[in-house]
Amino acid sequence: MTTPPLGRFGIWTGVLDGVPLGEAREVVAELDEQGWGSLWFGEAYGREAMTAAQAWLGASRRMAIGTGIASIYARDAVSTAAAARTLEAAYPGRFVLGLGVSHAPLVERMRGHSYGRPVTAMREFLDALDRAPAAVPGEQSLPPVVLAALGPRMLGLARDRTAGAHPYLVTPEYTAGARAELGAGPLLVVEQAAVVDPDADGDEWRRRAHDHLNIYTGLPNYRGSWVRQGFSDDDFVRGGSDRLKAALVTHGLETTVARAHEHLDAGADTVLIQVLGPAVAVPPRSDWAALAHALL
């Protein structure tokens, strides 16, 4: 298992699920040409994570592709290991398997599974992943695994059992605490949401931040994480208080660049910028290009 060279800055996006496959592949190739170290995406209502990873790996030449995250309830550990080993063999050193426990509404209402205790469920999945047979010649190696870790127990599991952690919707102060929990060795790949559109005034930034946080403010896993980060119930109105918005979604190119470096200074190995465009299904191509020019 060789950890891909992720670089200091990458892109996190959910927008690819909103466009046809051919256009999405063109977008991925464009991001690759811009020089981003890695591209990460989630798994909820859109494409299945492992087939999407194969499509994005095939559409790019050099940047790493990471699942941020692949739900452990979407496929069993044997299937996950088999798919991950095939991707590692096909694109050596370019794939990172990010795993997470997702959220009870998605797991129970949409998938029809029982949502277990997060750390216990993840530990058992990692045990099964370790036991999964590697029967295909030339496909024995798993790619690096990182965990969607928010709380201290999941960070500890990421430290002890995997290559590192991939926290989402966190502040630089959280990043510093996560680095202390992980120690010096494991990867720490953090996500940072941003509105960098030069035409987005304060009201437009607030609208995009509200739309982005609207679902997350209703999910207990994130609310618990934000309490540990110093926020309170007053901040958890749907879409988030202005205080929560300002902490989690930057406004403007210069502020975004500065926040990304704050995460690096706090101990992140890689910062993934999630650019919020005017609509969730429209790739913010000009914003990505401007951000690449500023950061890369």
Q: Chunk the chain into consecutive blocks of 10 residues (it has 296) and report each block's average pLDDT, rounded to whole numbers.
A: 82 97 98 98 93 98 97 96 98 97 68 81 98 96 97 97 98 98 97 97 98 94 94 96 98 98 98 96 97 96
pTM listed for this prediction: 0.95
Q: What is the pLDDT of residue 4?
A: 72
Q: Take residue 82 and report the two structure tokens written for it.
A: 């088999």
Q: What is the pLDDT of residue 2?
A: 61
Looking at domain 9-295, its CATH superfamily turns out to be: Luciferase-like domain (3.20.20.30)
Q: What is the pLDDT of residue 261?
A: 98
Q: What is the pLDDT of residue 110?
A: 65
* DSSP secondary structure letter of residue 184: S
Give 113-121 contacts, CB < 8 A, sequence gap 24+: 113/73, 115/73, 118/151, 118/154, 118/221, 119/151, 119/153, 119/154, 119/157, 121/72
Q: What is the pLDDT of residue 104?
A: 61
Q: What is the pLDDT of residue 118?
A: 86
Output the CA–CA distances (angstroms, integers) from residue 168 to 89, 274, 275, in the order listed.
28, 10, 14
Q: What is the pLDDT of residue 100?
A: 93
Q: What is the pLDDT of residue 108?
A: 62
